[in-house]
Amino acid sequence: MAHPLASSPGSTRIDDIVVPTVYIPYILEQSTTRNALIQSGIAVHDPKMDELAVRGGKLINMPFFQDLSGDDQVLTSGTGATDAALTPGYIGTGHDIAVLFLRGKAWGVEDLAAALAGSDPMAAIADKIVNYWNVREQALLIQILDGVFRDNEFNDSSDLISDISIADGNNAADSNLISATAVIDAATKLGDMADKLTAMAVHSVPYSRLLKQDLIDFIPDSQGKLNIPTYLGKRLFVDDTCPHPAGATSGYKYTSYLFGEGSIAKGEGAPPVPMETDRDSLKGLDYLIHRRHFILHPRGIAFGSTSVAGDSPTNTEAHYASNWNRVYSQKNIRLVKLVTNG
């Protein structure tokens, strides 16, 4: 039986009107410059991560030097063997690990060649692909964060989690809802590094509460074309994929995330065949196929493959606590979770 994407000899191919490889750099560039997570400074596209992503392997090892520690010593003079001698210290090392996500998507459209007979048809497709991957990356990031904070709850005494919610969400008091006090208390989980948290991702329910209280400022972007919502100086992102499980008694518990700049590292790999086209002439279908290898890594939270069944973790596997382990100190993570009833 022929492969479902196999083309028949003599069929009209989309290749006749476009050259996909020409647009691959364009698509990758747009994925970088139009991704809101990168624009905010939350997820930083790191050329070093690009280099790591193309070297092969499922896991990317990233050793690092830890901070210097130990008391200083008072200098003294004397003739004894140890009177003026300093005791040498050492610098410790740690081991961060990122995972390479392998993803792909194919689109099939009837009579695509005729429909895309404009002056720049692939640019239109590229724009749709960019938006698609931006949405999928954000969905994956939410799952990653869920796993990271599950690990924090189980293994680090919830030192990066501020939970003011109650089980009976429908009867929550103001103290259980999002507010300036709640956000400040969550940020100070990082102590004197609280000011490094520069952005928040919230569900639309707590967002609407802040909006009704007139607590959100809107500032124009660099081009003056878009008003960017901010709260307490932090850029706001509204995403209904932020976890919102039902309360044990009633209502819901809404998770908001506070981010520091560069807390998520992003890198783009190089699949052997990033993009290709095909045609099923008997069905009159043209296909556009896009594959990606990429890194989306919370800095300082090492990934393990203890709960990954295939070659690359699924979104569901990305939220397993057993796949994450903090290797940076608490204040260097720059990620905080806030849980409220709205």
Rounded CA-CA distance 264/266 in Å is 7
Low-confidence winner among 76-80, 217-221, 308-312 (lowest mean pLDDT): 76-80
pLDDT for the residue 313: 93
Comparing CA positions, the residue from 260, 199, 262 lying closest to residue 46 is 262
Q: What CATH architecture applies to the domain 25-65+97-340?
A: Alpha-Beta Complex (3.90)
Query: What mean pLDDT do residues 23-31 have?
Result: 57
Contact 47, 86 (CB under 8 A): no
Which tokens belong to 210?
């802040």
- Predicted confidence (pLDDT) at residue 6 exceeds the cutoff of 50: no
Rounded CA-CA distance 217/206 in Å is 15
Rounded CA-CA distance 211/178 in Å is 11
pLDDT band of 25, cuts 50, 70, 90: low
pLDDT band of 174, cuts 50, 70, 90: very high
Q: What is the mean pLDDT of the chain?
A: 81
% of the chain residues with pLDDT over 90: 42
pLDDT band of 1, cuts 50, 70, 90: very low
Question: What is the number of residues in the chain?
Answer: 342
Q: What is the pLDDT of residues 113-139, one digit of tens each?
A: 555 554 455 566 667 787 888 888 888
Q: What is the pLDDT of residues 321-337, one digit of tens each?
A: 999 999 999 999 999 99
More confident residue, 167 or 108: 167
- Predicted confidence (pLDDT) at residue 2 exceeds the cutoff of 50: no
Place of tokens 């209502």: 251
pLDDT for the residue 126: 65
314 φ/ψ sector (left φ>0, alpha ψ -120 to 50, else beta):
beta
Q: What is the pLDDT of residues 175-216, one digit of tens each?
A: 999 999 999 999 999 999 999 999 998 999 999 999 998 889
Contact 257, 43 (CB under 8 A): no
- Predicted confidence (pLDDT) at residue 66 exceeds the cutoff of 70: no
pTM: 0.79
The 3-state DSSP class for residue 14 equals helix
pLDDT for the residue 297: 94
Which residues lie below 8 Å from residue 158, measured CB to CB, with a gap of 6+? Answer: 152
More confident residue, 258 or 306: 258
Strongest mean pLDDT among 13-17, 38-42, 60-64: 60-64
